[in-house]
Amino acid sequence: MDANILVRAVLGKRVRTVIEAHAESASFFLPEVSYTEAEEHLATLVARRGGDPEKALSLLRSLRSLVVPIGSDVYGKFETEARRRL
C-alpha cells in the first residue's frame, strides 16, 4: 500500500470497502511516510472537489485502526534488496 491507496480509501468507496471487508481476516500495513504524504495532499484534493478537508483528514486518521503504520526501522533493512529487484 502507498499514499495513493490511502487517498483513494478516503475519496472513494471501493478501496475502503475492501479494507473494511477483510480487516478481521487480514492485516494491512503501510509505511508511516505514506500517511504523512497522504495528509499533505488530501486536504488540497478535497478542497478542489468542494469537500470538507477536515472531514477527509478525520477519515484518514480513522483508517489507522485498520491500516497500521510502520516505521522505516521495520522495513528499512530490506530497501537495498527491494530496489535491486525493481
Using one digit for the tens of pLDDT, what is the confidence trace for 2-56? 899 999 999 999 999 999 999 999 999 999 999 999 999 999 999 999 999 999 9
Count up the domains in the chain and report the number: 1
- Spatial distance between the Cα atoms of 52 and 47, rounded to a whole number of angstroms: 6
User: For residue 69, what are the β-bridge partners?
Assistant: 30
**Residue-number span of the structural domain to which 8 is assigned:** 3-85
Cell of 36: 504523512
Cβ atoms 41, 56 nearer than 8 A: no
Q: Does the pLDDT of residue 75 top 90, yes or no?
A: no
Confidence of residue 76 (pLDDT cuts 50, 70, 90): confident
pLDDT at residue 26, rounded to an integer? 96
Cβ atoms 28, 67 nearer than 8 A: yes
pLDDT at residue 79, rounded to an integer? 85
